[in-house]
Structure 1
């Protein structure tokens, strides 16, 4: 999935627009001299739109890169970069590839955005980042983001700001939780969360109606949210190396519903109209948060107090995976209605398209 392309026409124009200094074992001093020579002697820096500096020995980027005023793609991957300063702020970059370096959060530029910078692709995979770089959230036009192979422990709740993302690759980190706000990335086509410490996915994942690939292997998932069956475009689902074992949790046995919960259920069950002004706004918002019991024989609702239940569903006709669903009461677990629900599910055709492993 990690790629970049040139829109150049014939081979001559492509050669003119690409400066390829990759795999030449150049260090920072040598790169600086090379770029200065192009600027001073050839005076053609403005001709280049693509610069390939990958697979060298560069620890710092020279300021002379700013003289390449039409630079759109910069590949500095597979170097020894320890910093990525603001030397690129004058380049109209659409793609910055800096994977497999020694970059830390504090060594990144304070801002990836400038008046000339229209980044569409950012690749910081294989570095030493400890947390999600907050400055990336200021790139609303970003389509491809690669942060795999770091030590990132979080996905920020403000991830929804990147609502143009088509690919989010953040596998191979130390992530435990996936926030509900991931569901706001409705343009997402590929989501890579593999090789982390994730124990559950949020139900909001059902909002990713363009998602084609979901890679969640090598995690700590014991169940999947039932809403995953709503992903009609999903054609690749990788689940291997997850526990995915059955577990029954009946919180109501240990935590009886509160008076607020009981009152809210009664209002919803008997369809009692509550208008704004009659009760506090916080109570109105609470009543709107009611969720229906998934048991088709039950008309009940619940708010905070619920019973977790596992339903096994066939994938590809040979795998049975547990989907997590919520019930309003432990009495709703009858067993007999589950198989009928699976057979009549209008999204069951999607399961046959899913690839496991």
Structure 2
């Protein structure tokens, strides 16, 4: 917050103990280094932040000598171009967030130890070229750009890449149907794109992807190839025009713990599996709130012995069907539906611990509450119950 316009790094040349330089929120439009010798602070500086200034061009070659640099931030500068070759052995996080980059060419970069590159909130229309330069980058953030096309092959040479963020772009398709993909990839984020197609068909079953998130897209069907994500712990599809969900698709995902299908248009939930799925032993949380399910078949979840949380909130549900036989230590949330009555006489849920029925249209206390022998919390708030006695709950030990 000073009216500094020009910064010459030569001023700090002999500061052999300097670790942090913070020049955020000034008026710097020119950054230079006129030093003619090897400066002592090249070996000590760990953080340089020059965010919220007025730089239009950023010369990365200025930082080639800084072997100990861990964090270089040039956020919010309206940078339109990156100049110079970048040769650095530093274990570096480079943050170029909130600038005006339209393209980025990495072909003159030699950064074998860079670990994180953040390019979110720019104007990129294409994936940067020569991504193979980023051999050790673990996180690449390209969110909030204008990228219209991408394939997983673009990132295939990034052998250490674990997290790829492509949210808030203009992708209509994202092609994963290739045997060439980053060997260490764990998480792909595709939130808020225009996706109509997602193909995972050629992904090797030995892949390391642990999380897939698709949010705010035009994807109407879950690809059958979702079953190739054998390492997946969490799968999310929200704010998509999905109408039907078949749990059979996830049958062989033995490591899957979380399924999130909130805020879609699902009106039918089924399971066509004809064998005992490995999913039954791993899934801990299933959420299908804010959909269009009017009738909910709880018997679909009878085999899920490890399920801890089942959320079916805000669906306009008018009835629960079939018996419910579950040994799971379960929290069941049926909040904000349109249930008028609830009969628990066909429930056998000896380990259920929480049942939430608030914000429904219940006029009477559910029958057969003695089925809930281990429930510790029962929420019946915001209903239309006119009569209750403590005896109704006497068998809930």
Length-normalised TM-score, structure 2: 0.55
Q: Offset of 1:100 from its aligned partner?
A: 0.9
- Structure 2 gaps, min length 5: 1-15, 251-257, 290-397
The answer to whether the aligner puts 1:122 opposite 2:117 as a matched pair is yes
Of Structure 1 and Structure 2, the greater helix share is in: 1
Instruction: Assess, with a 3 A threshold, how the Cα gap between structure 1 residues 109 and 206 changes in structure 2: closer, same or farther.
Output: closer
Q: Offset of 1:170 from its aligned partner?
A: 0.7
Alignment of 1:191-206 (within 5 A): 191-204=188-201
Q: Offset of 1:111 from its aligned partner?
A: 1.8
Q: Offset of 1:77 from its aligned partner?
A: 1.6
Instruction: Assess, with a 3 A threshold, how the Cα gap between structure 1 residues 206 and 221 changes in structure 2: closer, same or farther.
Output: farther
Alignment partner, residue 190 of structure 1? 187
Q: State which of 128, 131, 135 in structure 2 corresponds to 1:133.
A: 128
Does the 8 A contact of 2:67 with 2:90 survive in 1?
yes
Does the 8 A contact of 1:237 with 1:354 survive in 2?
no
Alignment partner, residue 326 of structure 1? none
The answer to whether the aligner puts 1:65 opposite 2:63 as a matched pair is yes
CA distance in 1, matches of 2:260, 2:94: 43
Instruction: Assess, with a 3 A threshold, how the Cα gap between structure 1 residues 79 and 319 changes in structure 2: closer, same or farther.
Output: closer
Tell me, what secondary structure is at the counterpart of 2:215? coil
Does the 8 A contact of 1:132 with 1:155 survive in 2?
yes
CA distance in 1, matches of 2:73, 2:179: 28
Higher relative contact order (CA 8 A, sep 6+): 1
Of Structure 1 and Structure 2, the greater strand share is in: 2
Q: Offset of 1:146 from its aligned partner?
A: 0.7
CA distance in 1, matches of 2:232, 2:287: 10
Instruction: Assess, with a 3 A threshold, how the Cα gap between structure 1 residues 118 and 317 changes in structure 2: closer, same or farther.
Output: closer
Alignment partner, residue 148 of structure 1? 143
Alignment partner, residue 24 of structure 1? 25
Q: Offset of 1:36 from its aligned partner?
A: 5.1
Instruction: Assess, with a 3 A threshold, how the Cα gap between structure 1 residues 43 and 312 changes in structure 2: closer, same or farther.
Output: closer
What do the CA deviations read for 1:32-71 (whole angstroms, capped 9, x no partner)? 3xx558x889853332132222232222235643443443
> Considering only CA atoms, is the larger Rg found in Structure 1 or Structure 2?
2
Q: CA RMSD in A?
A: 3.7
Q: State which of 162, 167, 171 in structure 1 corresponds to 2:167.
A: 171
Q: Offset of 1:84 from its aligned partner?
A: 1.1
Alignment partner, residue 52 of structure 2? 55
Q: Offset of 1:346 from its aligned partner?
A: 2.1
Alignment partner, residue 218 of structure 2? 220
Does the 8 A contact of 2:106 with 2:129 survive in 1?
no
Does the 8 A contact of 1:195 with 1:218 survive in 2?
yes
Instruction: Assess, with a 3 A threshold, how the Cα gap between structure 1 residues 340 and 196 changes in structure 2: closer, same or farther.
Output: closer
Name which of structure 1's ranges 194-203 and 41-50 shifts more when overlaid on structure 2.
41-50
Tell me, what secondary structure is at the counterpart of 2:150? coil
What do the CA deviations read for 1:206-242 (whole angstroms, capped 9, x no partner)? 7374333221010111111234345455343332210
Alignment partner, residue 341 of structure 2? none
Alignment partner, residue 259 of structure 1? none
- Structure 1 gaps, min length 5: 1-14, 247-309, 324-337
CA distance in 2, matches of 1:317, 1:149: 23
Q: Offset of 1:17 from its aligned partner?
A: 5.5
Alignment of 1:55-134 (within 5 A): 55-62=52-59, 64-90=62-88, 92=90, 94-105=92-103, 108-111=104-107, 113-114=109-110, 117-134=112-129
Does the 8 A contact of 1:71 with 1:91 survive in 2?
no
Length-normalised TM-score, structure 1: 0.60
Alignment partner, residue 339 of structure 2? none
Name which of structure 1's ranges 165-174 and 197-206 shifts more when overlaid on structure 2.
197-206
